[in-house]
Amino acid sequence: MPSGIYFRSEKRMQQLRELPNVRWKNHKKMEATCAKCGKTYNTFPSVRQKYCSKDCWSKRNPPIEKNCEWCGKAFSSFVCNKQIFCSKKCVDERKSVYFKGENAPRWIDGRSLKKERGILAHRLKLWRLAVLKRDKYKCQKCGQIGKNLHAHHIIPWADDKSKRLDVENGLTVCADCHDLIHGRVIGRKNAVGKKLDGKQLIIGI
């Protein structure tokens, strides 16, 4: 269409003025029943109206009484709401009981223990030196002195947090004796976690 200014004729303007009336001319109201109070009201068929007023609409989903699945306390909740606990406190208490260790959603084969070791790395290094110094750098199993020595936790690291940095809970052992205690390779790169097949491994640190 070429550019320019276009004027509508008076006839076309009259048609546009009458258009809204034409649009609703064949649409007749029908009677409907309110889904909440049962009152009859008039509405257009194209309007999907289920309630006669805003007051009935606001009461369409009344709260119901429920019992908390953790503490048993009664609380109010809507039908469409799948809430089963009365408060966040009950949610947290349930998680603290049922979502521990292997049941935790982010459990990856005990890797959280490695993270804790990383956080305590400096203090763990001082603990190791204190254990070695107390035992005079001598393996308490085979008597080896001053080579490939480890500080072994008598009570395992994962079993008791209070004993992790206790010098009395430490024992100086050589790398091979440490492997035999745990039944797998301990503390050597590219070999950590490998199981022992009844043989004493000799692998340098």
Cβ within 8 Å of residue 164, ≥6 positions away: 120, 124, 127, 153, 157
Lowest mean pLDDT among 107-111, 115-119, 173-177: 107-111
Quote the domain boundaries for residue 51.
10-58
CB-based contact 41:18 (threshold 8 Å): no
CA distance 196 to 181: 11
Report if residue 110 sits inside a domain.
no
Q: Which two tokens stand for residue 189?
A: 């790169």
Residue pLDDT, tens place only, 128-166: 999 999 999 999 999 999 888 999 999 988 888 899 999
Same domain, 38 and 71: no
Q: Are residues 86 and 28 in the same domain?
A: no
Q: In the 8-state DSSP scheme, what is residue 103?
A: G
How many domains is the chain built from?
3
Per-residue pLDDT band at 2 (split at 50, 70, 90): low
- Structure confidence by residue, pLDDT tens digits, 53-98: 888 888 888 888 999 999 999 998 887 788 899 999 999 998 888 8
The answer to whether residue 103 is domain-embedded is no
**Do both 68 and 134 map to the same domain?**
no
Same domain, 52 and 76: no
For all residues of the chain together, what is the average pLDDT? 80
**Is residue 141 located within the same domain as residue 205?**
yes
Contacting residues for 42 by C-beta, under 8 A, at least 6 apart: 29, 30, 31, 32
> Within a domain: residue 114?
no
In a shared domain, residues 68 and 52: no
Is the residue at 191 inside a domain? yes
pLDDT at 61: 82
Q: Where are the beta strands (DSSP E) in the chain?
A: 30-33, 40-43, 64-67, 74-77, 149-153, 170-174
